[in-house]
Amino acid sequence: MTLPLTPVWFVALPLLLAFASPLWVRLRLLMPLLVGTPAVLLLLALALLPEVRIAPLVETIVIAPPLGIHLQLDSASWILVALISFTGLLATAFIWLGDGESYLRDRRAFIFLLLLIAGCNGMVLTGDLFNLYVFLEISGVSAYALSALRRDAPALEAGLKYLLIGSVAAVFFLFAVVLVYLQIGQLNLAAIAEGFAGIPGPMQILIGLLMLVGLGIKAELFPFNFWVPDIYQGSHPVVAGLYSGFLVKAFLFVLFHLVFLLLADPGVAGAWLMGLGAATMLVAEVVALRQDDMRRMLAYSSLGQIGLIALALGFGAEATTAGGLFHMANHTLIKLVLFLTAAVLMRSFVSARLADLAGAGRARPLAAAFFVLGALAVMGLPPLNGFASKLWILKGFAEAGVFWPVALVLLAALIEAGYYFRWIKVLYEPRADLPEARAVERWGYAPIAVAAGLIVLLGVAPFLVDDLFIEGAQALLDRGAALSAVLGAGS
């Protein structure tokens, strides 16, 4: 029997392995499979890359589109899929190697982690609106459960809060899906895109706003993102790293994918999203100034970067979009380093509070060095990868002669420096009584080191990968090509 290399595996493999989990417990294969699955998916993604670069892969399930469900792997979604797999690999490797908390290493965590990966992959790949809703809920449910995994009061609180707000988002999104179906009678995205212009204007607005609220809550845009810091703080940092690393990226991608696909002229919606992105960025960076819990601070910082990405993608120019996609990837790497470092620090010093971490840099020099590296990268300081992508975005704005986003981005970066450098300073505080540090597994640094190495590599040599992102941006922006790939050239 030969297994064809199709995009279906991105969803199917983690789902199958997750549901067969009792088997793996018995066979003591839980941890190897947990790490192995994203690794295999990453390899699969790499293997598919040459094909994807030639033309988008459309994988039909049962019936051909527009009637059936299909998965579409183009250059843009490939970036997300590879990112999800890679992030999953590093995070699970950290869980395995880092010898961490037992609740992250048991069957439930295994199931939910794989479900999260499957859900996100599905969201990114699917070409069907209702399917999108399903994957959205799969990833949502697994995320709620992951937050509550620790089963103490803060974790349960985080899980509950996440569940409440997430369900509301899902209801809004479902409402939009229902309206779309009622108006067009189609669920295939390409088909909807063709028919969307025919919907009466007020209904378009209603659908758009419903989707905006639904996805905006999930994608952490400004007036809908008040839940984020609480959830990130209550969850384990590795889980928060996954949220910040690919969950929110997947939602953001879906949001912009829908915008660019459904709307013939994404100008107005893009402007709205740019505004929301700018507000998200500025508000989050300012509020982050007063945080004294590392997880919460990182949550705000993550919000800020999401805002930046929304700003870049919303502009819709090729350079900003490519830069935005690149920044997604970079931000994922950076936040992974930061959250995993936070996990190490939390395990060493029990607390993640600023006051308790004073002088930690002298007790845990490696972890602090990774934190510094991540902080420098997230602020966009060269020669790290955050700089390359920010430069790309800003260059895109400058080429278009639009300067207010440039000013806002730079201002936000300055504010961001205000709190990151405060943390760095405190980490290296000279203190006579160094805090007591509990032992951590040295192998746990390996995934962080890999991510850190990539941060530096992508910073020094972004030209290695910039083609991918340009193609991704073109795939994301080129509505006609996307439609014809699904519906055939004649449509």
Q: Which of residues 276-295 bind other proteins (CB under 8 A)?
A: 283, 286-293
Q: Given candidates 12, 383, 437, 441, which one binds other proteins under the rule CB under 8 A? A: 383
What residues from 297 to 326 belong to the interface with other proteins (CB under 8 A)? Answer: 319, 322, 326
User: Is the previous residue joined to 66 through a cis bond, with omega within 30 degrees of 0?
Assistant: yes
Q: d(Cα 308, Cα 369) in Å, to the nearest integer?
A: 25
Among residues 27, 14, 133, which one has the least CA distance to residue 85? 14
What residues from 181 to 220 belong to the interface with other proteins (CB under 8 A)? Answer: 181-182, 185, 187, 201-202, 204-206, 208-210, 213, 216-217
Host H or E run for residue 481: helix 479-487
Give the C-alpha distances (Å, rounded to integers) separating 237 from 146, 340, 346.
11, 7, 9
Total residues at interface with other proteins (CB under 8 A): 105
What residues from 420 to 479 belong to the interface with other proteins (CB under 8 A)? Answer: 421-422, 424-426, 428, 430, 462-463, 466, 470
Among residues 280, 309, 362, 373, which one has the least CA distance to residue 335? 373
Tokens 């912009």 sit on residue: 256
Q: Given candidates 24, 86, 94, 144, which one binds other proteins under the rule CB under 8 A? A: 144
Q: d(Cα 465, Cα 389) in Å, to the nearest integer?
A: 11
Work out how close the CB of 291 gets to other proteins at its nearest, in angstroms, rounded to a whole number: 7
Cβ-based nearer residue to other proteins, 97 or 369: 369
Cβ-based nearer residue to other proteins, 42 or 240: 240
Other C-beta atoms within 10 Å of 44: how many?
19
Cβ-based nearer residue to other proteins, 51 or 399: 399
Q: d(Cα 448, Cα 339) in Å, to the nearest integer?
A: 9
Q: What is the DSSP string of 204-235?
A: HHHHHHHHHHHHHHHTT-GGG-TTHHHHHHHS
State yes or no: residue 382 binds other proteins (CB under 8 A): yes
Work out how close the CB of 380 gets to other proteins at its nearest, in angstroms, rounded to a whole number: 9
Cβ-based nearer residue to other proteins, 373 or 448: 373
State yes or no: residue 268 binds other proteins (CB under 8 A): yes
Q: What is the CA radius of gyration of the chain?
A: 21
Q: Under 8 Å CB-to-CB from 55, ≥6 apart: which residues? A: 485
Q: Given candidates 47, 152, 453, 488, which one binds other proteins under the rule CB under 8 A? A: 152
Q: Given candidates 78, 243, 387, 445, which one binds other proteins under the rule CB under 8 A? A: 387
What residues from 323 to 342 belong to the interface with other proteins (CB under 8 A)? Answer: 326
| Max Cα–Cα distance, the chain, nearest Å | 75
Work out how close the CB of 76 gets to other proteins at its nearest, in angstroms, rounded to a whole number: 16
Q: d(Cα 17, Cα 263) in Å, to the nearest integer?
A: 38
Stretch that binds other proteins, among 40-48, 96-104, 228-236, 447-455 (CB under 8 A): 228-236
- Report yes or no: 327 and 336 within 8 Å, Cβ to Cβ: no
What residues from 83 to 142 belong to the interface with other proteins (CB under 8 A)? Answer: 130, 133-134, 137, 140-141
- Report yes or no: 317 and 400 within 8 Å, Cβ to Cβ: yes
State yes or no: residue 64 binds other proteins (CB under 8 A): no
